[in-house]
Amino acid sequence: MIVNVTNADWSAIAPTSIVAVTALVVLIADLLAPKHINRYAAIVIASIGIIVAGVIAYNQFRSGVNYGAFGGAFILGGFSTVFEEIILIAALGSIVLYSAIGREDRIAGAIALMLWSTSGAMLMAGAGNLMTIFLGLELLSLALYCLCGLADRPTSRESALKYLILSSMASGFLVYGMALLFGASGSVALADLTQPALATNPLFWMGAGMFFVGIAFKLSLVPFHAWSPDVYEGAPLPVTAYMSVATKAATLAVFARFMYAAIPSGIGDKLLLPIWILAAISMIVGNVGMLAQHDLKRLIAYSGIAQVGYILTALAGGTPLGLRYAIYYLAAYTFMNLGAFAVAALISGDREEGSRLANYRGLGRRHPAAAAFMTFFLLAMAGLPPTAGFLGKILILSTSVSAGYAWLGVILIVGTAISLYAYAKVIRAMYQRDEHAHVHEAKANVPLAWASAVVCFVLVIAMTFYPLTPSNVLPLVK
């Protein structure tokens, strides 16, 4: 098939390519700029690149265009641009954090890797065929393997290796599944997977099954979750922040596009039921797993496992409204997570022992403001008002009830109740009157981290009272 590439195609992937090119510019600037300013050069260039990409994506979103670029390989539309925005926000937040606490001599490289990873995630958000999905995923993951190993500690290297091996295996599943799907449908385009004849084709079922295994791994759904706490714990803190949001957002975009637009009609309930069951198990196991954690990063990893379960609950049933609420919750999750990581960065920097919960003891006395922010973000994750976590849960519950998946809603409630105990454990540690805490202090006053914590705080509150959800996310294929 010969595709005529037009200007419209290039402009469709403009945000993605701008991010990728920015990474190159960051590296070049690092070579050319004098030593004492190259740190700031990297940050400023990366931020400008991300903001430009974000503005373009926003204009694309506003224009309401729905266009299959490169012969349908990349589908520009409300859906892809919203996910791109979320991924860009995650990237910006993490880059800000990296520049606040990361190692100085590696900043340009780390930021470039993060930008490439971001462009991969953005490709996934708009992927219209199986090859683009894989391309984006590998770009995202390869950069992350390096980023995970960037800190000077054994756990960081362990984290990178673990992520590399396990994630490659998941990619194997994914690509094998894609091959089978291609074999069944004769096309790589997602849109062609809707042929009714596929519903009885065993190749399709096998392919979809393996595809979902790969997706479930990337989303760290139970029982494919075991890697995430270890990887999160060892990776540098800003990378963890990035991973906890961007990877999940990109994979959710792929999954949502698949389930909304690429399933032969009539078999969705049967095909997706295992995913909903995994989501239910994840909500329980993720929240129970949090109880046993003594490290903030691991705690947030488990919390992320459960939160993905919440988002899948919104998608269950496949209603357009459900998709909007899933995006709403994803955005809320992004800000809550970035906020929590920003505070964690403030408190302990990126030292290995810094994220231990023991380190948070008595924080209410030492840094009342940091403790208050951390409390806020943890309570937001638990879904207490007045936060977007609260409203997000209400919206998810209502959509799951009206879509006939009330049982998922009930499990969400049970999981939330369990999670509160775990979050409250951290809060208690912070406000405990314990003078003998063995504390690894770090710089407690990093303006950039403060700024991102405050921005996240404001957004999490504002989202509660102005609950905007994107209305033009459908259709998902062209």
Stretch 406-465 residues interacting with other proteins (CB under 8 A): 406, 409-410, 413, 416-417, 420-421, 424, 428, 431-432, 465
Give the shortest CB-318-to-other proteins separation in angstroms: 15
Residue nearer to other proteins on the CB measure, 14 or 461: 461
β-bridge mates for residue 356, sequence order: 295
DSSP-derived secondary structure letter, 295: B
Binding mask 25-54 for other proteins (x = CB under 8 A): ------------------------------
Burial class (CB in 10 A: 0-12, 13-18, 19+), 266: exposed
Residue nearer to other proteins on the CB measure, 133 or 397: 397
- C-alpha distances in Å from residue 291, one per residue of 40, 364, 420: 40, 21, 10
Residue nearer to other proteins on the CB measure, 35 or 465: 465
Residue nearer to other proteins on the CB measure, 103 or 425: 425
Residue type, 339: G
DSSP-derived secondary structure letter, 356: B
Give the shortest CB-394-to-other proteins separation in angstroms: 5
Stretch 246-285 residues interacting with other proteins (CB under 8 A): none
- Near other proteins by CB under 8 A, which window of 72-80, 228-236, 353-361, 400-408? 400-408
- Asked if omega into 223 is within 30° of 0 (cis), the reply is yes
Q: Are strands 74-76 and 67-69 parallel, antiparallel or unpaired?
A: antiparallel
Residue nearer to other proteins on the CB measure, 76 or 314: 314
Q: Does 404 bind other proteins (CB under 8 A)?
A: no
Residue nearer to other proteins on the CB measure, 384 or 437: 384
Asked if 268 contacts 318 with a C-beta cutoff of 8 angstroms, the reply is yes
Q: Does 64 bind other proteins (CB under 8 A)?
A: no
Give the shortest CB-431-to-other proteins separation in angstroms: 5
Q: Does 390 bind other proteins (CB under 8 A)?
A: yes
Asked if 403 contacts 333 with a C-beta cutoff of 8 angstroms, the reply is no
Asked if 158 contacts 173 with a C-beta cutoff of 8 angstroms, the reply is no
Residue nearer to other proteins on the CB measure, 52 or 401: 401
Binding mask 340-379 for other proteins (x = CB under 8 A): ----------------------------x---x------x
Give the shortest CB-363-to-other proteins separation in angstroms: 13
B/e letters for 59-85, b = 16+ CB within 10 Å, e = fewer, are: ebbeeebbbbbbebbbbbbbbbbbbbb
β-bridge mates for residue 68, sequence order: 75
Give the shortest CB-447-to-other proteins separation in angstroms: 18
If binding means CB under 8 A, how many residues of this protein chain bind other proteins?
32
- Cα dihedral across residues 155, 118, 461, 255: positive or negative: negative
Q: What span, in angstroms and rounded, lies between the C-alpha atoms of 94 and 74?
A: 26
Q: ∠ CA 364-366-369 to the nearest 5 degrees?
A: 60
DSSP-derived secondary structure letter, 191: G
Choosing from 104, 386, 407, 445, the residue that interacts with other proteins (CB under 8 A) is: 386
Give the shortest CB-292-to-other proteins separation in angstroms: 17
Quickly count: other Cβ atoms within 10 Å of residue 477's Cβ. 22
Asked if 189 contacts 128 with a C-beta cutoff of 8 angstroms, the reply is yes
Residue nearer to other proteins on the CB measure, 372 or 474: 372
Helix (H) or strand (E) holding 254: helix 248-261
Q: ∠ CA 258-243-377 to the nearest 5 degrees?
A: 105
Quickly count: other Cβ atoms within 10 Å of residue 195's Cβ. 16
Residue nearer to other proteins on the CB measure, 266 or 386: 386
Residue nearer to other proteins on the CB measure, 112 or 371: 371
Give the shortest CB-360-to-other proteins separation in angstroms: 14
- Near other proteins by CB under 8 A, which window of 88-96, 148-156, 253-261, 380-388? 380-388
Residue type, 115: L
- Near other proteins by CB under 8 A, which window of 141-149, 204-212, 247-255, 394-402? 394-402
Binding mask 295-324 for other proteins (x = CB under 8 A): --------------------------x---
Q: What span, in angstroms and rounded, lies between the C-alpha atoms of 394 and 396?
A: 5
Q: Which residues bind other proteins (CB under 8 A)?
A: 321, 368, 372, 379, 383-386, 390, 393-395, 397-399, 401-402, 406, 409-410, 413, 416-417, 420-421, 424, 428, 431-432, 465, 467, 469
